[in-house]
Structure 1
């Protein structure tokens, strides 16, 4: 998949990435789930966690914004899913 390709299910992949990533972070002692936190705050916290544990490559400093983080998290989950998964 090219880096500029649009994912078909990007929104669904992003939501699933938040769910899976927050569970993974909590299991490693880094709880992200906060009911009062906005989705963008959770996404940024998850992005920073995944960069820290070297699951994803960090974005350049000038590209760290909500839309790029959302796409990076969706790509992370997309690459982790098996080939037959409906989200892929």
Structure 2
């Protein structure tokens, strides 16, 4: 798994976009006190359930791998030429 150049920023964007997606679907409402790890896992599992991303093999699911998958998913949502894609 090759780390992306702006992975931390992409993960932050993915959390925001994933939370918005979940709230629009009416399946989640995150509190300000919810940890980033909890949000990452929930968003990852929601996107896998909705078949928006390919699931990882269950023995390879970790915080780091879920963060990476969410960063890749969010990067694909960004328009060409976005500063985070350079």
TM-score over 0.5 (shorter chain): yes
Deviation at 1:60, TM superposition (A): 0.4
**Which 10-residue stretch deviates more, 49-58 or 78-87?**
78-87
Equivalent position of 1:81 in the other structure: 78
In structure 2, runs of 5+ residues without a counterpart are none
* Structural mapping, 1:5-24, within 5 Å: 5-24=2-21
Change (3 A) 1:32 1:48: farther
- Deviation for aligned residue 1:33: 1.5
How far apart, CA to CA, are the structure 1 residues paired with 2:25 and 2:59?
29
Unaligned stretches of 5+ residues in structure 1: none
| Aligned counterparts of 2:70 and 2:81: Cα–Cα separation in 1 | 20
Secondary structure, aligned partner of 2:84: coil
TM-score (norm 2): 0.92
Q: Paired residues, what number?
A: 85
State the alpha-carbon separation in 1 of the partners of residues 3 and 35 from structure 2: 25
SS of 1:7's equivalent? coil
Runs of 4+ in 1 over 2 A off after TM superposition: none
Work out the CA distance in 2 between the residues paired with 1:14 and 1:67. 11
Query: Match for residue 25 of structure 2?
Result: 28
Specify the alignment match of 2:41 in structure 1: 44
Given that 1:32 and 1:46 are in contact with CA atoms closer than 8 Å, whether structure 2 keeps it comes out as: no
